[in-house]
Amino acid sequence: MKMGSSSDKKFATLALDTSTAMLAVAITRGGEIVGRSQSLAERNHSVYVSSRMKELMEECAVPAADIGIVAVGQGPGSYTGVRIAVTAAKTLAWIWGKPLVGVSSLEAMAYGFWRERLATASAARADAGKVWIVPLMDARRGQAYCACFSAAADGEWRREEADGIRLFENWFESLEERLAADPGQTPREIWFLSETGELTAKLLGGEGRIAVASQGASASAVRSVCREAAWLLDAAAVGLLAERRFLRGEADDVHGFAPNYTQLTEAEAKLNAARTESAR
């Protein structure tokens, strides 16, 4: 397997993500975005995914021979959706004999927002402090696929919470508790990202903004730092995060790679419940 370095002209990353309503394809190289294609194509990702990649490679004049790694959003998100990108990425990485690098789709959502909306301004501030970014994908019944990341002014990017499907109301409370426990570490801002920018209100029972839901001793502190934004997942962020992983010496096993669904299928969950029940 031939691997390039980040300065190698041929070290391009082909990145894709179909975990959300966005069919996202991008090419990155050495920390830069070479090209990207974003389109809202709900339930049609499987139709266009291959031709979109082909078009983008042609537009960017990046032939297959120049692709050094295949990067993919591993989910969580729509089960069917995430399978499409993962299947395409696995097959391409396998047939091209190139490394496959999976990236959390939630992290890509958060990282894209940070990079394009906050990073420049943060770096310019003397008092910058940390920013927390909470990407959200609606998983129905009050649940959301979510995680939490922090970004420091110097660009240090860290995961604060694992990807998971959570009852948002409980999770929001636990975030509050965490802030209350250590008031000195309250981030400068906490950004809640979703497709519409209004998901937190819906998840918190629809009565309103994050600020209304915040109660207790830390309420005002939390209130003052919470923000919401509409943000759509972008495959360029998948590519950039994958490059960073790869430079750390990480890649995934192509054959064993599978989507991160974050939960069992309904049938498995029921079977497990029935077994637990009968074991009692």
Q: Give me the residues that bind another protein (CB under 8 A), please.
A: 46-51, 53-54, 64, 79-80, 83-84, 86-88, 90-92, 94-96, 254-256, 258-259, 261, 265-268, 271
Q: Min. distance of Cβ 259 from another protein in angstroms? A: 7
Name which of 32 and 58 has its Cβ closer to another protein. Answer: 58
Report how far residue 61's alpha carbon sits from residue 42's, in angstroms, rounded to the nearest whole number.
28
Q: Min. distance of Cβ 264 from another protein in angstroms? A: 10
Name which of 112 and 259 has its Cβ closer to another protein. Answer: 259
Residue 126 carries which side chain, given as an amino acid letter? A
The answer to whether the beta carbons of residues 260 and 104 sit under 8 Å apart is: yes
Give 148's contacts (C-beta < 8 A, 6+ positions apart). 132, 133, 134, 159, 160, 161, 175
Q: Considering only CA atoms, which of 181, 183, 188, 103 is closest in space to residue 147? A: 103
Name which of 38 and 50 has its Cβ closer to another protein. Answer: 50
**154 token code pair:** 């110097």
Name which of 211 and 271 has its Cβ closer to another protein. Answer: 271
Q: Min. distance of Cβ 33 from another protein in angstroms? A: 22
Residue 214, phi-psi category: left (phi > 0), alpha (psi -120 to 50), beta (remainder): beta
Report how far residue 261's alpha carbon sits from residue 64's, in angstroms, rounded to the nearest whole number.
30
Name which of 38 and 44 has its Cβ closer to another protein. Answer: 44
Name which of 56 and 201 has its Cβ closer to another protein. Answer: 56
Q: Min. distance of Cβ 78 from another protein in angstroms? A: 11
Q: Min. distance of Cβ 96 from another protein in angstroms? A: 6
Name which of 248 and 255 has its Cβ closer to another protein. Answer: 255
Q: Min. distance of Cβ 3 from another protein in angstroms? A: 19
Q: What is the spatial order of strands in the sheet that 100-103 belongs to?
A: 32-40, 22-29, 12-17, 67-73, 100-103
The answer to whether the beta carbons of residues 47 and 55 sit under 8 Å apart is: no
Give 119's contacts (C-beta < 8 A, 6+ positions apart). 151, 155
SS3 12: strand
Q: Min. distance of Cβ 245 from another protein in angstroms? A: 20
